[in-house]
Amino acid sequence: MLKYIRSHALVKVFLWVIIIAFVATIFYSWGAGGQVEGANKTIATVNGMKIQVNEFNRAYGNILNFYRDQFHDQFSDEMAAKLNLKENALEALIQNRLILAEAEKMNLLVSNQELVSSISKRPEFQKDSQFSNVLYQNYLNFNRITPREFEESQRKDILRKKLEEVIKASTQISESEIQEAYKKENEKIKFKFIGFSRDFFKPTGLPSDQDLQKYFEAHKNEFEVPEQIQVQYVKLVPAMVMDKIEIYEEDIKDYYNTNEAKFFIKKQYQASHILIKSDAQLPFGEDLSDEEKEKLLDEADAGARGKAEEILKQIRDGADFGEMAKKYSDDPGSGANGGSLGQFSKGMMVPEFEEALDRLSPGELGSPVQTVFGFHIIRLDQVNEERIKPLVEV
């Protein structure tokens, strides 16, 4: 392993290659930013590995919902932009690709036994010092992730730790570096000195007037006094003259025309939903093939979709939407409010959700829509198209 790293230059160079590739990929693929359309479109390529829109949307959706849970009504488009959430989601995906690529080059692997051992030892899954499958499933449900997604993330975490240990173990310090460090800590200097008392340089007498005049002539610059002025002034505060300021109509129009972008309002939705999560219970620790796991996940999706369609049928037959949301929705925040999501701007929800909203008219119910969180029964309550506030309103 040490031979491998040395063949690719020093460890510092190895780490800088990762950093440079990481930064270059962000700027090359991200560009001007903004909402990316097309589920199969590639937005970044890392060492030949593609990051597609649907994967980015899932990561970005998870970050958005985390901040919504933290800040509630205080969370806004402006806050999301200031926090650079889209860039953070993409950077996290790129970083994972880079680390996993390096681990693959080094033939680092994580066995199923290692994965099971790591998960079963996590304290949040322990009950009476034993692994609890109930706690494990509750954790997955609470965080809205499937067992497969969680286990894959744990596998990647273990790979990252293995890569870190390899780099640490492969870092060697040369003899010259050791000597240099020792010198800095222990090097001493020998020197000789002579001490004088304070009175040694004390003058024997006072200088004469001639001596003082001579010194003054030779050092006039030392006695220069900066130029000084004397002024009188009156201090005014805005409150004293505010009622005397006249703002003309032309000034208002000029300001409005110059700053029109400040008065742009994004498209606003007011909607309600009922969320039915697709909770696949994959047997923990069993070595299932990808086909078997996919089959279990598909069966869970079909069950959730069927439940959502049955609820939708009851609503269309006369059941109250709000009461059905309180009873069946797996979104505790909106469910308690009859499914209401309040008002939000375009770009705040995951793309599949907003695409469904754009197909509805106010007051209309849509068919179940699947997102990373499950199946949604969506009702569009009101929509305000994007616009620029007119001058009268401003």
Query: In the chain, what are the domain boundaries?
Result: 2-170, 263-388
Torsions phi, psi for 128 (to 5 deg): 55, 45
Cα 40 off chain centre by: 23
Q: What percent of the chain has pLDDT over 70?
A: 87
Q: For residue range 20-68, what is the model confidence (pLDDT) as tens digits?
A: 344 333 333 333 334 444 546 888 888 777 888 877 887 888 888 888 8
pLDDT-derived band at 283 (thresholds 50, 70, 90) equals low
Who has greater pLDDT, 174 or 281?
174
Predicted pLDDT at 294: 80
Predicted pLDDT at 25: 36
Token duo for residue 176: 């010259």
Predicted pLDDT at 8: 39
Predicted pLDDT at 128: 83
Predicted pLDDT at 12: 44
pLDDT-derived band at 265 (thresholds 50, 70, 90) equals confident
Q: For residue range 61-111, what is the model confidence (pLDDT) as tens digits?
A: 888 888 888 887 788 888 888 888 888 888 888 887 887 777 777 788 888
Who has greater pLDDT, 327 or 244?
327
Q: Which range in 147-156, 284-293, 300-309 is most confidently predicted, on average pLDDT?
A: 300-309
| Average pLDDT for 166-190 | 78
Reply yes or no on whether the pLDDT at 113 is more than 90: no
Predicted pLDDT at 231: 93
Mean pLDDT estimate for the chain? 80
| Average pLDDT for 289-296 | 78
Predicted pLDDT at 375: 93
pLDDT-derived band at 315 (thresholds 50, 70, 90) equals very high
Who has greater pLDDT, 151 or 172?
151
Predicted pLDDT at 339: 93
Give me the CATH code for the 263-388 domain, please: 3.10.50.40
Predicted pLDDT at 229: 93
Token duo for residue 326: 């309180």
Quick check: 279 and 299 in contact, CB under 8 A?
A: no
Reply yes or no on whether the pLDDT at 167 is more than 50: yes
Predicted pLDDT at 156: 80
Predicted pLDDT at 6: 38
Predicted pLDDT at 281: 62
Q: What percent of the chain has pLDDT over 90?
A: 20
Residue tagged 């004397």 (tokens):
230
2-170 with 263-388: one CATH topology?
A: no
| Average pLDDT for 338-361 | 91
Quick check: 302 and 241 in contact, CB under 8 A?
A: no
Q: Which range in 2-6, 38-42, 172-176, 252-256 is most confidently predicted, on average pLDDT?
A: 252-256
pLDDT-derived band at 17 (thresholds 50, 70, 90) equals very low
Q: For residue range 181-222, what is the model confidence (pLDDT) as tens digits?
A: 888 888 888 888 888 887 777 777 788 889 889 999 999 888
Question: Nearest CA to 83 among 70, 96, 95, 93?
Answer: 70
Query: Which architecture characterizes domain 2-170 according to CATH?
Result: Orthogonal Bundle (1.10)
